[in-house]
Amino acid sequence: MTILVTGGAGFIGSNFVLDWLALSDEPVVNLDKLTYAGNLTNLTCLDDDARHVFVQGDLGDRALADRLLAKYRPRAVVNFAAESHVDRSIHGPEDFVQTNIVGTFRLLEAVRAYWGSLPEAEKVAFRFLHISTDEVYGTLSKDDPPFAETNANEPNSPYSASKAASDHLVRAWHHTYGLPVLTTNCSNNYGPFHFPEKLIPLMIVNALAGKPLPVYGDGMQVRDWLYVKDHCSAIRRVLKGGRLGETYNIGGWNEKPNIEIVHTVCALLDELCPKADGRSYKTQITHVQDRPGHDRRYAIDARKIERELGWKPAETFETGIRKTVQWYLDHPEWVANVQRGTYRKWVAKQYKETNE
């Protein structure tokens, strides 16, 4: 048996592949385009491991998907591949439409043809698991209940609109063609291999480099944080036992305003890597222009996955964030590597425009 993973060189995908192969001997075929966010060094420890087959390519390349499906005959496809950064989607939405919508559509079509050709027993066992986000639900006010699976989709950014569109395609391929799909909608992840364009790793690497810590607007926007390995365990649980055609929300029950996250990161760095001048990293915090259309609050009601599949996160925010900060302190070469080249151009463009 084999699974096909797309986007397995990115942040969550590489954590998923590493955990999968640590827990089982079932091979993984990993299809990833290696955009700026894809990083094969995340998977260096699998270099000599025959259970991991890496293929560089686009999930929208139908001929390639057809070939991989025919050759490796996976029993499941887990679709992580996406453009994932909201700020980039504001600067340039086209890649998001192309990868997240058109790419998912083409992959669904390849999988539909492959699935249709399977013998009955394999057909029944097959799964297409689509990895999505809580951002498809839009934004919450302070006193709203957390997002449930029954909430309407009200996406507000080009990124979330493209993810919502892909979720709808997946849903339609189930209802129309009977494709055995599952969808997960997860809250903000953090942990090892998180690309330092996103809040937590950006704050860690900027703090250590003595650079400003750019907090958008008043910093009171709320996110619900989940340690990446808990997301991976939830995905495995849904793949194993999720009901066909269903969506499962995944979250950490960890709602926190951004400014509190930044303070926590600074306090951990003050403890684990104190500055030579004895001052706190908090002195580097600067408030910058807000993100256009910035969603105010996300929160996930994760009771369905707990009730139906018995999943709960293993980490609290306190344990997960400590591990994460320590991981970045222990991997300066990984940070230096991802900060080369186009990363610098992105930082210059994004933070110049927000007066940082």
Dist CA 219 CA 261 (whole Å): 10
The alpha carbon of 68 is separated from its chain's Cα centroid by a whole number of angstroms, namely 23
Phi-psi region of 293 (alpha: psi -120 to 50; beta: other; left: phi over 0): left
37 contacts ligand NAD (rule: CB under 6 A): yes
**By CB under 6 A, residue 234 contacts ligand NAD:** no
Find the DSSP H helices in the chain: 11-23, 62-72, 86-91, 94-96, 104-116, 120-125, 158-177, 199-208, 228-241, 258-272, 303-309, 317-330, 332-338, 342-353
Question: What sign does the CA torsion over 238, 243, 244, 246 have?
Answer: negative
Angle between helices 317-330 and 258-272 (to 10 degrees): 50
Per-residue x/- track, 275-294, ligand DAU (CB under 6 A): ----------------x---
- 214 CB-side CA count, 13 A: 19
What's the rounded Cα separation, in Å, for the pair 123 and 131? 21
Q: Which of 134, 197, 295, 315 is catalytic?
A: 134
Active site residue 134: yes
Amino acid identity of 33? Answer: K
Residues between 89 and 128 with contacts to ligand NAD, criterion CB under 6 A: 99, 103
Question: Counting contacts by CB under 6 A, is residue 54 touching ligand DAU?
Answer: no
Contact status: 35 vs ligand NAD (CB under 6 A): yes
* Cβ-contact 128, 76 below 8 angstroms: yes
Q: What is the C-alpha R_g of the chain?
A: 20
CB of 60 to ligand NAD, least distance (A): 6
Q: Which two tokens stand for residue 103?
A: 């790419």
- Piece in contact with ligand NAD (CB under 6 A), picked from 65-73, 82-90, 150-158, 214-222: 82-90
Rounded to 10 degrees, the C-alpha dihedral 172/177/180/186 comes to -10
Interface with ligand DAU includes 165 (CB under 6 A)?
A: no
Q: Which one among 189, 206, 247, 324 touches ligand NAD, defined by CB under 6 A?
A: 189
Q: In the bound complex, what is the minimum distance in angstroms from residue 123's beta carbon to ligand NAD?
A: 26
Say which of 87, 114, 137, 159 is annotated catalytic.
Answer: 159
Give min distance, CB of 281 to ligand DAU, in A.
15
Stretch that binds ligand DAU, among 83-91, 102-110, 147-155, 317-325 (CB under 6 A): 83-91
Choose the contact partner of 214 out of ligand DAU, ligand NAD, none; CB within 5 to 8 A by kind.
ligand DAU
Give the Cβ contact number of residue 119 at 10 Å: 7
Amino acid at 296: R
Nearer to ligand DAU, 46 or 202 (CB): 202
Q: Are 187 and 132 in contact (CB under 8 A)?
A: no
Residue 301 among the catalytic residues = no
User: CB under 5 to 8 A by kind: which of ligand NAD, ligand DAU, none does 202 bind?
Assistant: ligand DAU
| Smallest gap from residue 61 Cβ to ligand NAD (A) | 8
Q: Is 135 part of the annotated catalytic residue set?
A: yes
Which position among 32, 58, 83, 135 bears the catalytic label? 135
Position among 199, 234, 265, 338 found at the interface with ligand DAU (CB under 6 A): 199
Q: Could you say which residues in the range 200-239 bind ligand DAU, by CB under 6 A?
A: 202, 214-216, 221, 223
By beta-carbon proximity to ligand DAU, the closer residue of 133 and 324 is 133
CB atoms within 10 A of CB 348: 10
Residues serving a catalytic function are 134-135, 159
Contact residues for ligand DAU (CB under 6 A)? Answer: 84-86, 133-135, 187-188, 198-199, 202, 214-216, 221, 223, 258, 291, 298
